[in-house]
Structure 1
């Protein structure tokens, strides 16, 4: 009787899960499988109407890996991702340490810092674009008043500064996210541990090095992995601020895949770039799960 009750409950649980599973298959599973199939074919604007795409195997991947523009885009993606991770995590951790202390107005100030994270990315991108304008931009106006530059800088048109401007805007969004998650980790550390270490004569630096960092290891790992995934697949920020220009200097895998598929109408090439992006993130996800398994052991 007990076994039949357990089996019935298990069956009911699967019935409740089934609608969500079907939805995921339609919304995520089918597009993914179609994209994989498309990456092994040659589908472009010429044969799109007829639907007579030619199977080319790994030819699309070979073509991309030999393409200098794709190499530049992949390099941009790595530079953008690691620069943002370094700045966001470092500043976010400092903010988390600061706001974990109890002081007057800590809550309201922390709320103001979170405003950037709560704004839609499209709004943030438009705001960042206006901040870095050549004429009337706040950044240029501030630098001119501080006499740090002699003439306004064309941030978003200059290939040497465009990526830096996009990184700055993305960090403004990412720092509160890092701060929020790391603050949660810090508040989970008992004050008794710090008090015991103080009684034993540990300095502030020693408490940070031997107590805070080891106990924050899981939280920091989660923040870094999530930050990598969100940043590596960035699209809307670049698309709105620079559209990948000038001369692909701010193109990342997401914007480049969109450009090849929907601007140049090389649908298979765009799908191939998207698959490379997917594989990179999939490998990072597996690496993260492996590290979590080691932490549990």
Structure 2
């Protein structure tokens, strides 16, 4: 290339800021702080969502539980600060003891049966037999139905006079059971309904966990002569511990705040027989013409504390598993 030609090319394509000679297109210079702006652009929707739907309701609930709100002061916003008096009133209430016991029994029994039955079904459907996919899909129906439909169905089935359950009992020669109106059976009735509704969730999560277990491990166990029970306790269950832990944690958090099932079936009765913290909080806040906003918020905060305790226990167990 001659010197005259090179001079003509430089005259036609003079250098401009941001353009490197010899390249086909411009390369833009990155502005300082662009990476941080991009990161904040992605984080902003999440931060706004958490602030609006989690942080603000939590702050508001704490404010309600530490002030003496009435209907008028709730609207005007001039309630006096009373500290922990609402919590003292909740602890001194005769409903506190039964509500605490019912909450623990409802949560503990529900989680134990939901997880056990869900695990058994997950292992059963993992065997890949004919129609396994169809049957597994049918087990998801209770999870897909609206809770009001499920709870209403169980209310009809457990009705003392016309329920199908009592009809079967009478056909077999047994006595009628007042499932929803007897203090001895009301809590058991809502627990049974909640177990039925929660089994599909455990089935789906645990079955997904089984998909990640290598089939070579089971083949090696079969060659070593391990039976089905040994395979479950020494291979399946240990390998599913991380999945099992998060399944139980989510189940605990969800079951602690179950309201609609109990309210539709028994409304927390008879008396306090099936009243949990979630039902009690609603009754205090909305169950009378003179609502007690402060005590209702205090009971709600107790539920939050119980859920946080479960979360911290999960984190501690998970940390120990990671270290080991």
Q: Common fold, TM-score beyond 0.5?
A: yes
Matching of residue 170 in structure 1 with residue 186 in structure 2: no
The residue number in structure 2 matching 1:64 is 90
- What's the TM-score, normalizing by structure 1? 0.93
Is 171-180 or 4-13 further displaced after alignment? 4-13
Q: 2:56 aligns with which of 30, 55, 64?
A: 30
The residue number in structure 2 matching 1:296 is 322
Residues 271-291 of structure 1: CA distance to partner in whole angstroms, max 9, x if unpaired?
000011111101211221222
Q: Distance in 2 between matches of 1:23 and 1:199?
A: 53
- Number of residue pairs matched by the alignment: 295
Q: Distance in 1 between matches of 2:269 and 2:191?
A: 14
Matching of residue 143 in structure 1 with residue 166 in structure 2: no
Q: Aligned with 1:41: secondary structure? A: coil
Q: Distance in 2 between matches of 1:117 and 1:229?
A: 17
Q: Distance in 2 between matches of 1:184 and 1:167?
A: 26
The residue number in structure 2 matching 1:225 is 249
Structure 2 residue runs without a partner (length 5+):
1-26
How far residue 46 of structure 1 moved from its aligned partner, in angstroms, is 6.4
Matching of residue 282 in structure 1 with residue 316 in structure 2: no
Matching of residue 242 in structure 1 with residue 266 in structure 2: yes
Q: 1:97 aligns with which of 123, 126, 129?
A: 123
Matching of residue 43 in structure 1 with residue 69 in structure 2: yes
1:7-26 map, 5 Å: 7-26=33-52
Q: Distance in 1 between matches of 2:73 and 2:143?
A: 43
The residue number in structure 2 matching 1:119 is 145
Residues 252-294 of structure 1: CA distance to partner in whole angstroms, max 9, x if unpaired?
1111101101124010000000011111101211221222233
Q: 2:156 aligns with which of 124, 130, 143?
A: 130
Q: Distance in 1 between matches of 2:315 and 2:263?
A: 31
Q: Aligned with 2:166: secondary structure? A: helix
Q: Distance in 2 between matches of 1:22 and 1:191?
A: 44
Aligned residues: CA RMSD:
2.1
- What's the TM-score, normalizing by structure 2? 0.85
How far residue 48 of structure 1 moved from its aligned partner, in angstroms, is 4.0
Q: Distance in 1 between matches of 2:251 and 2:227?
A: 31
Is 282-291 or 244-253 further displaced after alignment? 282-291
- Which structure is higher in RCO with an 8 Å CA cutoff and minimum separation 6? 1
How far residue 6 of structure 1 moved from its aligned partner, in angstroms, is 8.7
Q: Distance in 2 between matches of 1:6 and 1:100?
A: 54
Matching of residue 251 in structure 1 with residue 286 in structure 2: no
Q: Distance in 2 between matches of 1:19 and 1:46?
A: 35
How far residue 102 of structure 1 moved from its aligned partner, in angstroms, is 1.2
How far residue 20 of structure 1 moved from its aligned partner, in angstroms, is 3.6
Q: Distance in 1 between matches of 2:211 and 2:56?
A: 42
Q: Aligned with 1:84: secondary structure? A: helix
How far residue 176 of structure 1 moved from its aligned partner, in angstroms, is 1.2
